[in-house]
Amino acid sequence: MAANWRVATAALRRHLRSPPPTIRESTGALSAANQRRSYTTAFADDDDDPRGKWLTLPPFSPTIDAAAVGKELSFGDGDSIVKGSTDGSTTALRWILRCRPDLPRNLVQKLFRLRQVRRQVVVPMSCELQRSQLKRVAAKESLNVGDRIYLPLSVGNDAPRPAKKERFRCSEEERKFVCSLVLYKDPAIIVLNKPHGMAVQGGTGVKTSIDELAATCLTFDKSESPRLVHRLDRDCSGLLVLGRTQTAATLLHSIFREKTSGASAYGVKKNIKSLKRKYLALVIGCPRRQRGQISAPLRKVVVDDGKSDRITVNDNGELVSTQHAITEYRVVESSPHGYTWLELRPLTGRKHQLRVHCAEVLGTPILGDYKYGWQAHKTREPFVSSENTPTKPSPSPFGLDMEGGDVSSKQPHLHLHSKQIDLPNICQLLEKLEVSPDSDISDLDGLKFDAPLPTHMQLSFNLLKSRVESSDNC
Centre a 10 Å sphere on the Cβ of residue 230 and count the other Cβ atoms it contains: 20
Cβ within 8 Å of residue 71, ≥6 positions away: 254, 258
Catalytic residue among 233, 235, 369, 406: 233
- In this structure, the strands spanning 237-243 and 416-424 are parallel
**CB-based contact 230:240 (threshold 8 Å):** yes
Report the length, in residues, of the chain.
Answer: 474
Q: Where would I find the beta strands (DSSP E) of 323-428?
A: 326-334, 339-346, 416-424
Rounded to whole angstroms, the Cα distance separating 21 from 121 reads 17
Crossing angle of the two packed helices 426-435 and 246-266, in degrees rounded to 10: 110
For the question of residue 233 being annotated catalytic, the response is yes
Angle CA 118–121–127, to nearest 5: 160
User: What one-character DSSP code corresponds to residue 126?
Assistant: S
Intra-chain end-to-end CA distance of the chain, in Å = 80
Closest CA to 21 of 41, 40, 35: 35
For every residue of 55-101, DSSP letters joined together read EEPPPP--EE-HHHHHHHHHH--S-SEE-S-EE---BHHHHHHHH-T
Torsions phi, psi of 164, nearest 5?
-70, 115
Rounded to whole angstroms, the Cα distance separating 115 from 97 reads 17
Rounded to whole angstroms, the Cα distance separating 264 from 428 reads 29
Residues forming the active site: 233
